[in-house]
Amino acid sequence: MHYYRYDGDILDFTKGLLTERIMKMADNCFIRERKDRITLFSLKLPMVCPGTYREGGLLEFYAIINKKKIRLPATGATTDF
């Protein structure tokens, strides 16, 4: 059984037959991949990581900007898009 949930700014779904097709269409969004699910977040949502937890490491999110995959640092540094 496949699970899909969309609420305007977030698309959450289980990996399945349409996963590759959806990922090819994804652009200008944050993505979080887990073992069996993928969540796409609109860039309009604020993403804040307060404190120094895991500073210097990579977040479990990545971004796709203009069809290019970008890893996000866990520091307070910003990435130029």
> Which sequence spans correspond to the domains of the chain?
4-73
- Summarised one tens digit per residue, pLDDT across range 9-68 is 899 999 998 899 999 999 999 999 988 999 999 887 665 655 555 555 556 788 898 899
Q: By 3-state DSSP, what share of the chain in percent is helix, strand and coil, each rounded to 5?
A: 10, 40, 50
CA distances (Å), 62 to each of 17, 47, 51, 67, 71, in order? 22, 12, 19, 12, 5
> Model's pTM, two decimal places?
0.70
